């Protein structure tokens, strides 16, 4: 316990003690009568109850102070280089996208959208249907990704399905960026045991269904029938 914590506890106890008066205490021989004031019966339980409330209040102060400013955070998951390193060798299905306008679009499994992280800790792939983008990434000291696209293969999408169009836009945001740049794209990462969030250019991509990558090297195509989890695990 720190000196500051001890001081704060002493102050809290002192304030509560100042509120306890002689007239309010119950003694073994009955309530003590203050000169000039008639004795009251039937309220002798108030003093013990007040003391109990004081004890609970002080206990609450101790709990809040000991918890510190980060008491609202959960222990599971998080960000940082170690969290990003744990992604190597895993593939994730895109489950939903929060767009820059604040709306959220659910991405059904039939869309076949996902991301996989190669075991070398330097490459990732992002795909929607038969379109697949290869990219390299580095990790900042804060645990963010800097993604540099290598190229995209596949037939693209010319339909009007809102879920597919949103998935394509979101995958573009974490690889090329909305401006279509080929330089490094900053991507924020939040890793949970069963959930992955990637954020870039106003898009927040939520991934679920973590799966290990195949033991063999995946071709850089994402075409159906390959070992890429983006192509084969979400169809």
Confidence tier at 43 by pLDDT (50, 70, 90): very low
Quote the pLDDT of residue 179.
73
Quote the pLDDT of residue 129.
92
Residue 225 has pLDDT above 70, yes or no: no
Please give the average per-residue pLDDT across 48-57, as a whole number: 50
Residue 185 CB contacts under 8 Å (≥ 6 apart), including other chains: 146, 147, 148, 149, 173, 174, 175, 176, 177, 200, 201
Please give the average per-residue pLDDT across 70-81, as a whole number: 52
Quote the pLDDT of residue 214.
77
What is the average pLDDT score of the chain? 74
Q: Compare 63 and 4 and report the one with higher pLDDT.
A: 4
All domains in the chain, ordered by first residue: 3-67 (no CATH), 81-232 (2.40.128.270)
């Amino acid at each position: 316990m720190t000196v500051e914590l001890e001081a704060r506890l002493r102050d809290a106890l002192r304030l509560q003690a100042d509120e306890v008066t002689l007239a309010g205490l119950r003694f073994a021989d009955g309530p003590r009568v203050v000169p000039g004031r008639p004795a009251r019966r039937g309220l002798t339980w108030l003093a013990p109850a007040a003391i109990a409330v004081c004890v609970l209040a002080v206990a609450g102060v101790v709990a809040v102070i000991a918890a510190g400013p980060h008491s609202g955070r959960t222990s599971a998951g998080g960000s940082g280089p170690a969290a990003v390193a744990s992604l190597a060798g895993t593939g994730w299905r895109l489950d939903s996208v929060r767009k820059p306008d604040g709306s959220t679009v659910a991405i059904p499994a039939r869309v076949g959208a996902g991301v996989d992280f190669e075991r070398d800790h330097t490459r990732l792939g992002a795909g929607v249907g038969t379109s697949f983008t290869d990219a390299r990434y580095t990790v900042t000291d804060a645990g963010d990704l800097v993604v540099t696209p290598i190229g995209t293969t596949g037939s693209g999408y010319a339909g009007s399905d809102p879920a597919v169009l949103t998935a394509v836009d979101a995958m573009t945001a974490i690889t090329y960026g909305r401006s279509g740049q080929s330089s490094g794209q900053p991507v924020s990462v939040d890793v949970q045991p069963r959930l992955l969030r990637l954020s870039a250019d106003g898009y927040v991509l939520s991934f679920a269904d973590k799966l290990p990558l195949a033991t063999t090297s995946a071709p850089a195509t994402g075409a159906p029938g390959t070992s890429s989890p983006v192509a084969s695990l979400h169809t």
